[in-house]
Amino acid sequence: TCSLPRSPKGFPKLKNDTFLRAARGEETEHTPVWCMRQAGRYLPEFRETRASQDFFATCRNPKLCCELTLQPLRRFPLDAAIIFSDILVVPQALGMEVVMVTGKGPTFTEPLKEVEDLLKLRQKVDVTAELGYVFQAITLTRHSLEGKVPLIGFSGAPWTLMSYMIEGGGSTTMAKAKSWLYRHPEASHRLLRLLADVIIDYLVGQVAAGAQALQLFESHAGHLGPELFQDFALPYIRDIAQAVKSKLKEEALPLVPMIIFAKDAHYALRDLAHADYEVVGLDWTIRPQEARAQIGKDVTLQGNLDPCALYAPKEKIGELVKKMLEGFGTQRYIANLGHGLYPDMNPEHVGAFVEAVHAHSRHINKH
């Protein structure tokens, strides 16, 4: 139940820390598993809870965020919860208006068109004032989880957020946003720096509120090649990990594991392995053995079953999971999909995925 507002103190004792142990590279009896977008539209109870409310109004309602975060855990023995929220709350904190349009997705009413538009953004963001509702949702959810599993907090990464702010929504080419990188490199860096600073404070605030791990989503990395990624994405990804860690130390907050998920960025795996994240998340377009060879043994890998594999019959899902576990090995590994769950997926197939990870990894560990 997600009722009373409670303080970020005296949290219940954690009963299942498998996910955190794997993230830190400690030994686990089974491979932990969670799914990106596990609190989502594929669950009938999610659609019911969300039916009456605007998407971003839901994000601003801590009790609803808590309820939506807990729903998948009532169905499946997942090893982690991820707070229900959205990456676009950060551009909202900078003063931009984003609405959810049915059939189209998130849409910015006034995207950034010219360099001068950067002046319209809040240059100093008080994250508690602007995003305190996320912190409240995290604290409430951490209590309501009753120590069942750890709670993951997250943010979009600067390039991904910048691309949305300029494109005004989704795009197949990101041509408007990428043209800024080529035409206005200085202004692009100004915007990316502004975003990184907000993200750093936002992630530290999430840990203060009770998040036990953090994931940074660079969902649009695939639109950049190695050079643009090197110039406009990687420096900020690195800086966020380092700054978050040093601020957590300064504020005597727990040093939580951090995950970087840069979708379609195989060209950057070696760099991401040295970007100061405990875990590197992978999409489904890379072989586990290749990823391990590039990333080395000192970083935990997370991923990477093709989400569409969940359309397969349940026995087939089991076979695919077994093959994936054999590719990654059961240690220093967190099982996940290579991207989020899709709205038309069968919850029973999600359950089959989770159970297959536990069963096969236990079997492999025993033998």
300-324 pLDDT, tens digit per residue, is 999 999 999 999 999 999 999 999 9
Would you call 276 a catalytic residue per the annotation?
no
Residue of 86, 117, 231, 276 marked catalytic: 86
Percent of the chain with pLDDT over 70: 99
Task: State both tokens at 183.
Answer: 């035409």
Q: How confident is the model at residue 7 (pLDDT cuts 50, 70, 90)?
A: confident
Q: Is 161 inside a domain boundary?
A: yes
Convert the pLDDT of each residue in 248-268 to its tens digit.
999 999 999 999 999 999 999
Structural domain including 118 reads 86-281
Q: Is 122 inside a domain boundary?
A: yes
Least Cα distance to 192 among 167, 160, 170 occurs for 160
Would you call 47 a catalytic residue per the annotation?
no
Q: How confident is the model at residue 6 (pLDDT cuts 50, 70, 90)?
A: confident
pLDDT at 5: 66
Q: Is 36 inside a domain boundary?
A: no
* Whether residue 133 has pLDDT greater than 80: yes
Would you call 342 a catalytic residue per the annotation?
no
Q: Is 238 inside a domain boundary?
A: yes
Would you call 50 a catalytic residue per the annotation?
yes
Interatomic CA distance for residues 162 and 366, integer angstroms: 47
pLDDT at 3: 78
For residue 284, how far is the Cα from the chain centroid?
A: 16
Number of domains in the chain: 1
pLDDT at 196: 98
Q: Is 35 inside a domain boundary?
A: no
Interatomic CA distance for residues 166 and 37, integer angstroms: 24
pLDDT at 143: 97
355 with 77: CB under 8 angstroms?
yes
Q: Is 121 inside a domain boundary?
A: yes
* Whether residue 81 has pLDDT greater than 80: yes
Whether the ω angle into residue 304 lies within 30 degrees of 0, i.e. cis, is yes
**How many contiguous H segments (helices) and E segments (strands) does the chain have?**
15, 9
Q: How confident is the model at residue 126 (pLDDT cuts 50, 70, 90)?
A: very high
Residue of 42, 164, 236, 277 marked catalytic: 164
Convert the pLDDT of each residue in 29-71 to its tens digit.
999 999 999 999 999 999 999 998 899 999 999 999 999 999 9
Q: Is 38 inside a domain boundary?
A: no
Would you call 41 a catalytic residue per the annotation?
yes
Convert the pLDDT of each residue in 171-227 to its tens digit.
999 999 999 999 999 999 999 999 999 999 999 999 999 999 999 999 999 999 999
Burial 327-344, CB ≥16 within 10 A → b, else e: bbbbbbbbbbbbbbbeee
For 93-107, what is the mean pLDDT?
A: 95
Residue of 21, 42, 50, 60 marked catalytic: 50
Mean pLDDT, the chain, rounded, equals 97
Residue 12 is given by DSSP the state: P
Q: How confident is the model at residue 103 (pLDDT cuts 50, 70, 90)?
A: confident
Q: Is 209 inside a domain boundary?
A: yes
* Whether residue 4 has pLDDT greater than 80: no
Q: What is the CATH number of the domain that holds 90?
A: 3.20.20.210
